[in-house]
Amino acid sequence: MDKRRKQYVPVVVRFDTEGKLRPLVIEFDEEHKYPVDKVLDVRRAACQRVGGVGDRYTCRINGQVTYLWMEKGVWFVEAKE
């Protein structure tokens, strides 16, 4: 199993008329910005690999399913070390 770490990332979001968040773009750095194709699911969950509890966004990015987490107002992903 790959070793993972929690990596905090800037995320461009949109609020709908009901106040719900929708992540649009994940920015790792200036060269690595990934548009979120679709949000598949949002639920409260614990992050087992790197720790933390928050809202887990299951997203499709470039055809791959990945998790994006929001914990206490900040976003993170599970990054490979």
The Cβ of residue 4 has, within 10 Å, a number of other Cβ atoms equal to: 15
What is the C-alpha to C-alpha distance for residues 63 and 43, in angstroms, rounded to an integer?
Answer: 21
Query: Residue 41 class from Cβ within 10 Å (0-12 exposed, 13-18 middle, 19+ buried)?
Result: exposed
Splitting the chain (81 residues) into consecutive groups of 10 residues, what average pLDDT does each group show?
88 94 92 95 94 95 95 93 82
What pLDDT, on a 0 to 100 scale, did the predictor assign at position 1?
62
Total residues found in the chain within this entry:
81
